[in-house]
Amino acid sequence: MRILTAIPIARKLPAMIVGLCLISSLSIAVVGYRDIQHNIRLGMDRSLALMTQTRADALALWFR
């Protein structure tokens, strides 16, 4: 704690602000990444299900 009390407030405050900005930017980036990852995976699942159904229908028509 002596190190923190030896540093003047003129240097501590900007360092705290920069630290908080970095933490908030990192948290926003993580949330955005997880959201886009979920949306991409959901879109791929829907696309794969549609493709599977289309191919199953085509195969059923071919065997008729």
Q: Token digits for 22? A: 């970095």
What are the backbone dihedrals phi and psi of residue 28, each rounded to the nearest 5 degrees, phi first? Answer: -65, -40
Sign of torsion, CA 38 44 50 55? negative
pTM of the model: 0.67
Q: Domain map of the chain by residue range?
A: 39-64
Decide: helix, strand or coil at residue 8: coil
Structure letter (DSSP) for residue 1: -
pLDDT (tens digit per residue) in 5-63: 888 889 999 999 999 999 999 999 999 999 999 999 999 999 999 999 999 999 999 98
